[in-house]
Amino acid sequence: MPMTRKPQTLRGKVALWASVLVVFVVAILLVMILVKPSGQPEPSTPVAVETPKDEAGCNVPAGDTSSKPAMPKDLRWKAEKGWTWPVSDTYGPTKTKDGFPVCFARSPLGAALTAVSMNASGNLINARKAGEIYGIDSPGKEILLAKTPDKAAMTTPVAFSGFIVDSFTKDEASITLVVATAASSSGYAGLPLTFRWVDGDWKLKVLDDGSTFVGQPPTPVKGGFVEWSGTNG
């Protein structure tokens, strides 16, 4: 049965970040969080997903599809210009497209790995190109791209702490990417993102106004999200 748990409740005062549309510049959000800590996610039943048959050039096993997936043994941290982010040779990225990491597992873990790779490459390579590669074609995507710099965003590096699986089916994954920041009451900030499975890989869903979520970003708490773990290299 697909997991249909609603995204975690977003609470707090009205924040000043509402006009920020560039999803790749995560650091912009961190100093503007004014929300209270929210609850922990509930466990869920894994979703059955078949391993793709070299779909659109990718052939990545799904792995654990539960809301609290175990970290793969080959998870490691990639580092460049002060940025560090998790990658897995098994669950993604397993290929590159124009220098951008692509081909991820059809699972919550795969969607979360897509999110961190998207943010890292947008900051290190080119923000607009990242939007072109990772975003689903739509009017909202065009609005987002028009507001996205045609260069590496290169904001202050953030610490990717983990993720929350808000909902998951084999065709759509809603996750909250969690980063560490001293600017929030809990020490963490969350960036909700929704991905659709398109042509054999995860693609970012962009709303008609060019944003990627509605409401305020959540303030996750320690123990309320899946933490990354892995080796450096």
In this prediction, residue 20 carries a pLDDT of 25
In this prediction, residue 233 carries a pLDDT of 59
Beta strands in the chain (DSSP E): 75-80, 83-88, 95-97, 100-102, 159-168, 172-180, 188-198, 201-204, 226-227, 231-232
Which residue in this structure is represented by tokens 């920041």?
A: 181
Indicate the residue type of 19: S
In this prediction, residue 49 carries a pLDDT of 44
Domain boundaries, the chain: 16-42+90-232
Residue 189 pairs with which residues in a beta bridge? 179
Average of per-residue pLDDT across 202-210: 95
The secondary structure of residue 11, as a DSSP letter, is -
pLDDT at 204 over 80: yes
pLDDT band at 154 (very low <50, low <70, confident <90, very high): confident
**Mean of pLDDT over the chain:** 80
CB count, 10 Å around CB of 98?
A: 10
Measured CA to CA in angstroms, residue 44 lies from 3, 152, 168, 202, 218 at distances of: 7, 38, 10, 21, 20
3-state class (DSSP) for residue 36:
coil
In this prediction, residue 19 carries a pLDDT of 23
pLDDT band at 232 (very low <50, low <70, confident <90, very high): low
pLDDT at 161 over 90: yes
- Do residues 105 and 97 lie in contact, with contact meaning Cβ atoms separated by under 8 Å? no
Q: Which residue has better confidence, 228 or 156?
A: 228
As a whole-number percent, the residues of the chain with pLDDT over 70 amount to: 74
**104, two tokens:** 């991820």
201-222 burial string, b = 16+ CB within 10 Å, else e?
A: bbbbbbbeebbbbeebbbbbbe
For 73-123, write each residue's pLDDT tens digit: 999 999 999 999 999 999 999 999 999 999 999 999 999 999 999 999 999
3-state class (DSSP) for residue 202:
strand
In this prediction, residue 230 carries a pLDDT of 67
In this prediction, residue 58 carries a pLDDT of 85
- Do residues 205 and 23 lie in contact, with contact meaning Cβ atoms separated by under 8 Å? no
For 12-68, write each residue's pLDDT tens digit: 322 322 222 233 444 333 322 222 233 333 444 444 444 444 445 688 999 999 999
